[in-house]
Structure 1
C-alpha cells in the first residue's frame, strides 16, 4: 500500500504543480513520503454501493497476518517480528536466515503454489524457528539478505499521531467533529514548495453540506426540502 499509493500521491503532486505552472509560468519542488500513502490507504473502510464488502486480503483469526510468509512471529524475549517474504527468490534466503536447510528441502513447501496450499503447516513450521531467535539476531540475518521485516511496536499507532515531526510537517492533524469528538487524521500528504496546503477543518459528515450545494445549483428551500423528503438526497 505504501509503495503503490506513494505513486498516486506523487502523480497528484506533479499534476498540481503542472497546473500551477500553466497558470503562473513558475515551477516548484514537490515531495511526499511512503508513510503518507500508508496513512491514506489505511484510513478508509469501504464497500460497494449495495453494501457488499470489497474483496481484499484479510488477516487470520489470531490476527497474526495475511499468510505464513506475510505476518507476525513471536521471538525469544517476547518480541514480535513482522515479515513480508513474498518473492519466490526470497524463499531460500528465508530458510538460510532461519538456519533451517531442512525447511528448504521439505517437499511440502517446494514452490509458491505448494506453500500457499499448505499455509497453515508452513506457519506451524516457522513459529518454532522464530521463537528460538532474539530480535537483534533475526533482524540482522534478515537485513543481511534484504528480507523485509520490522519489529512490532504496540504503541506505534498512538505514537504516530503524537509524533512532533509528523505534526510539524502537517502529515497528521487533529479536528473536532460534532457527535464524534476529537478525531486524529491524515493531514496534507503532498507538499508543494510554493503552495503548501492545509487542512481547513474536520471531514464533513454525510449530508452536512447538501442544502448549501443545492442552493448553489439553483434549488430554493422548498425544492431542496422535497428532494430530502423523497430521499433523493441525504441532508442533515
Structure 2
C-alpha cells in the first residue's frame, strides 16, 4: 500500500477471529477503510469458507471465496486452546482496539476469551460478536446460516412468485446484512470511545436481527393495518412495475407507478390506446386491471429487442433497467467510472480482479493490498506484539 493520504480508520487495530462470510465481510469493510485487521486462524485452518474445506474455485492454488473476503488484512495462525497461544492473544488484545468473532454463543467462553476475561487485558477494548440469533433469547445456541435466517425472518416468504415454492434471495442477504450492521456497530463504538472516553464495550449482533431490520415498511404495514406480504415476484407495486421479456429473449424491468411515468411509458411503447383506455386511467384503476395491463404491455415489448427498448426508455426518462447477469453488470459503464472492479496484486502471483469499496470520501484514497495466505504473517506479528512485553517483564 503506497497511499500518502490518511485513511479514516488508520491507527485502529482489529483482531479478527471470524470465518465463512458474514464476519470476514464485516472486517474487510473495516480494513478497506484503513483499519489494521489481523486475521487469526486456528492451526490447520483452510479459512473455513466452504463446508468440509472444499474450495469450489481456486486462483493460484488458493480458495477464491477466501481471496474475495480478506484483502487488506494480515494473517496469523494461533492455537487459542493452548497456553502459549492464549498468552500471545492477550498480548495482542492489550494493544488492539477491537476483538471480533462470529462463533456460536458460548464458543469464546469455552476458550476462556469471553468479554469479562478479555477486558482485563484492555479496559478500552471493543468486543464484538456476530451470531445467527444473538447471545440472548431462546434460540441463542441454535446453529443458523444464511438460508435458515432468510427463512425464519420472513425474507423467503416474500421472494419468488405467487403459488410457487418459497425462494431464497440470490444474494446471501442475511450474511451480508449481518456483516454490514456489525461494521456500523463497531464504528459507533469506536466513535463513542474516542469522543467520550468510555471504557470497554461488548457488542452482540445477530444475523436474524440484521435481516429482519431490512423489512421496515412491510413490518409497519403489518403492525398498523394487518397486512401480511406474500411473494413479490419481480415487482409487486403496480402492473408496470416488474420484469418483462423482449424480442431477443432478454429481460428488462419497468418501475412505472405514477401518472407522469405512465404517460412516458405509453409514448415509448407507441401505444396511445393504453393511455386512452379508462381501465388504465389512474394508478388505482391500473392495479384493478393488473392482468389485462401486464398482458398488453408484454405483447408490445416482445416486438423489439431489449437494447432498442432501453434506448427509447432512457431517451424519454422512463424508469427502467436491463436485467443483467453478473458479467453484464460488471461491464456496466458505472463500474469503471466509479472504480468498483479493481486489479489487486496477489501474493501468489499475478493480479486478481475484485470488487472495489463503495465508500467515496474526500481525502480518502482507496488502496487494495493482496489477501494474505493463511498464516503468512504469523512469525512477524507474534514477535511484534510480544517482544516489548517480554522486555518490560525483565
Name the TM-score, length of structure 2 as normaliser: 0.30
Greater radius of gyration (CA): 2
